[in-house]
């Protein structure tokens, strides 16, 4: 059973090409940022020649919340990767670092919480390879002489998608959004029914249509962020670790349904909290815009390109303070209804 795939092996046949900069960021930066949207935080870079001098000054600037390791191989073959297999997750993604197509991940997301019978590959327009999901056991069954770049096209069940696969050469000529638009979502009352101070899975009930709405947002090319006040922590009903565990489960469930959550923030503070360590007027607690502003900065977003959907007036006030539009969920108009109105 796959419970999430945080590991991606990126192949760099021509490393200098992926380090080229366009509009302030290298192509590698954009590849890692887009893969991070799907929970990939452990990246192994495989290169056919020494590039440490080029990569070293970039590592601290790459948008990866996890680990980044680089290996130089004599050849990019299945045999070379088999030697590194003990360092890989049991299930992992294999991709070319000089190809960018975040839409390639969506058909594979439901498989991340299911059984993988054979390597699954996704190809963009013109059958350009984009991404392959496989296991270490499957890797061992591939001939050692097989080129890893060919593996993305062979030995796999292939799914075709309409999204173009971009390269460092085509990126400047494409319509790829260098500053993606984003949708910010409150959690309780928007994604799930608000039963009051929800800190465990057994009290978390998805609102009908939530997964369809999230798939619609994700496929529109927008980031999805969750910003949630959680004063239940300040009141001692559950802990910050409980919130983290519940959000991890919720996001894994969303990904198994073919959507994603790029990032999330919560505020555990309250000005009259029974627990002294959480008793404060926090700039992160809505209606203050702190959580939203933190995500705007981290993901290099423009407020005018974003909007928020929440169920409370404090959600709308926080969005307004951050400079973006906001829409209110009601019993008569759910998240699904708003996405039907707002997105193509």
If DSSP codes are grouped into helix, strand and coil, which group holds residue 285?
Answer: coil
Rg (CA), the chain: 21
Note whether 112 and 135 are within 8 A (CB): no
Q: Is 203 exposed, middle or buried (0-12, 13-18, 19+ CB in 10 A)?
A: middle
> Dihedral, CA atoms, 33, 36, 38, 39, nearest 10 degrees?
-170
* 188 catalytic residue (yes or no): yes
Please pick, among 34, 102, 186, 311, the residue that the annotation labels catalytic.
186
If DSSP codes are grouped into helix, strand and coil, which group holds residue 180?
Answer: coil
Quote the DSSP letter at residue 279. B
Q: How far apart are CA 30 and CA 260, in angstroms?
A: 17
Quote the DSSP letter at residue 18. H
Could you give phi then psi for residue 74, rounded to 5 degrees? -70, -30
Strand partners, 10: 45, 95
* 341 catalytic residue (yes or no): no
Return contacts of 297-306, CB within 8 angstroms, 24+ apart: 298/263, 299/33, 299/180, 299/182, 299/223, 299/225, 299/262, 299/263, 300/179, 301/179, 301/180, 301/181, 301/182, 301/223, 302/179, 305/179, 305/180, 305/181, 305/182, 306/181, 306/182, 306/183, 306/184
Residue listed under structure tokens 């980031």: 223
Please pick, among 188, 262, 263, 315, the residue that the annotation labels catalytic.
188
Report the catalytic residues: 186, 188
């Amino acid at each position: 059973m796959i419970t999430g795939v945080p590991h991606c092996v990126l192949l760099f046949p021509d490393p200098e090409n992926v380090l080229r900069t366009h509009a302030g960021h290298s192509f590698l930066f954009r590849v890692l940022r887009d893969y991070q949207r799907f929970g990939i935080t452990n990246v192994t870079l495989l290169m056919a020649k020494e590039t440490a001098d080029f990569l070293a000054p970039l590592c601290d600037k790459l948008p990866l919340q996890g680990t980044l390791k680089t290996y130089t191989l004599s050849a990019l073959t299945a045999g070379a990767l088999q030697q590194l297999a003990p360092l890989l997750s049991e299930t992992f993604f294999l991709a070319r670092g000089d190809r960018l197509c975040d839409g390639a991940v969506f058909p594979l997301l439901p498989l991340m919480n299911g059984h993988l019978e054979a390597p699954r590959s996704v190809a963009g327009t013109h059958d350009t390879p984009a991404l392959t999901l496989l296991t270490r056991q499957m890797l061992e069954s591939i001939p050692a002489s097989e080129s890893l770049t060919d593996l993305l096209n062979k030995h796999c069940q292939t799914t075709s998608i309409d999204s173009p696969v971009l390269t460092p050469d085509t990126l400047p000529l494409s319509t790829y959004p260098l500053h993606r638009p984003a949708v910010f979502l409150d959690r309780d009352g928007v994604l799930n029914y608000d039963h009051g101070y929800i800190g465990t899975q057994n009290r978390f009930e998805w609102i009908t249509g939530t997964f369809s709405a999230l798939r619609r947002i994700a496929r529109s090319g927008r980031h999805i962020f969750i910003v949630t006040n959680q004063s239940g922590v300040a009141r001692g009903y559950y802990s910050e670790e409980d919130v983290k565990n519940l959000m991890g489960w919720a996001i894994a469930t969303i990904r198994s349904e073919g959507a994603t959550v790029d990032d999330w923030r919560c505020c555990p503070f309250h000005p009259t909290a029974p627990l002294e360590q959480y008793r404060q007027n926090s700039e992160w607690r809505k209606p203050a815009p702190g959580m939203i502003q933190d995500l705007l900065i981290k993901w290099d977003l423009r407020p005018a390109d974003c909007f928020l959907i929440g169920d409370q007036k404090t959600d709308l006030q926080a969005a307004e303070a951050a400079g973006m539009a906001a829409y209110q969920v009601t019993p008569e108009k759910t998240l699904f209804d708003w996405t039907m109105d707002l997105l193509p």
